[in-house]
Amino acid sequence: MKKLIFLSVFVGAILLNAGCDCPPFTTDCVSVMEIENIKVQDEGTKIKFVISPPPSTGTLRVRCHDLTDMDTKIFPKGLDSVEYVLDSTFLKTCKDHDVLYLFDGRSGQVEVSLENIPIRYLPPPNGVVIDGKDTIAITSDSGEYVLSSNQYVKFKPYAGEMFAPLPSGSYSDTLRTLKGDTVIVWIDRDRDGSSEYDEGDLFGVLIVGADDVDLRIIGSPSSGPITGYRGLDLCFKCMSRRGE
């Protein structure tokens, strides 16, 4: 009888694995879900994912890059595709904001890159080059730092807003800031000269220290879908500083 019970448990374990009910973040299962489209909505305060086919189990799970569980959504079955809307609360949950994972109980995970804007830092620190096109120059003056750039990059002190405020009149071409202050950066990426919100623009946050600079932008190149997202990195100050 003991041998029969052991054999039943063993066979049951094999059948469970054969059903591809695999744990997330492995390459053992081929992903079934695909991201059809990603775009910002509601004036850049949310990111919408169109997923097809929908999760096979009816349950979509979302995790941060560090594997922290962020969200679980139950979707109705039988649809060709579903929409999942990500608002800025994920910035409070996820320590690293460049990658998210979407998965269900049967598919392999779908990795979603939210941040692949090339950023190059100029020592010691003299500035930041954004996507090889725009440079934020940084100079020190009487214990303060002066930020300046071309007409396509503007600055505003961070004052605790959930989202970056719209550019109309509240941003400047230059800004004086103290060590460790957080600054909102607005980049007119499509160079249309508009002073209002534009889905082609990029928004980021910047911290200038005594010997380093840290800039975060959630977005992607012009061929990608996530320009125009205004959600701020609300945990920026509690993240590990670059190089530490």
- Let me know whether 216 and 131 are in one domain: yes
State the average pLDDT for the chain.
80
Decide if pLDDT at 222 tops 80: no
- Let me know whether 138 and 185 are in one domain: yes
Q: What is the pLDDT of residue 108?
A: 72
In this prediction, residues 180-190 reach a mean pLDDT of 90
Domain that holds residue 157: 119-238
According to DSSP, the β-strands at 69-74 and 82-87 are unpaired
Indicate the residue among 113, 138, 173 that finishes a domain.
113
The residue among 63 and 196 whose pLDDT is bigger is 63
- Residue 51 domain-assigned? yes
- Residue 103 domain-assigned? yes
The residue among 71 and 15 whose pLDDT is bigger is 71
The CATH number assigned to the domain holding 58 equals 2.60.40
d(CA 232, CA 92): 10
Least confident stretch, 128-137, 170-179, 185-194, 233-242: 233-242
Rg (CA), the chain: 22
- Let me know whether 141 and 210 are in one domain: yes
- Let me know whether 107 and 127 are in one domain: no
Percentage with pLDDT > 90 across the chain: 32
- Let me know whether 42 and 66 are in one domain: yes
Indicate the residue among 50, 82, 113 that finishes a domain.
113
Question: Per-residue pLDDT tens for 91-106?
Answer: 888 888 889 999 887 7
Q: What is the pLDDT of residue 238?
A: 53
Query: 20: buried, middle or exposed (CB in 10 Å: 19+, 13-18, 0-12)?
Result: middle
Q: Supply the pTM of this predicted model.
A: 0.80
- Let me know whether 105 and 124 are in one domain: no
- Let me know whether 108 and 218 are in one domain: no
- Let me know whether 58 and 98 are in one domain: yes
Decide if pLDDT at 206 tops 60: yes
- Let me know whether 234 and 123 are in one domain: yes
Question: Per-residue pLDDT tens for 3-31?
Answer: 333 333 322 322 223 333 444 455 455 56
HEC sequence for the chain: CHHHHHHHHHHHHHHHHHCCCCCCCCCCCCCCCEEEEEEEECCCCEEEEEEECCCCCCEEEEEECCCCEEEEEECCCCCCCEEEEEECCHHHHCCCCCEEEEECCCCCCEEEECECCCEEEECCCCEEEECCCEEEEEEEECCEEEEECCCCEEEEECCCCCECCCCCCCCECEEEECCCCEEEEEECCCCCCCCCCCCCCEEEEEEECCCCEEEEECECCCCCCCCCCCECCCCHHHCCCCCC
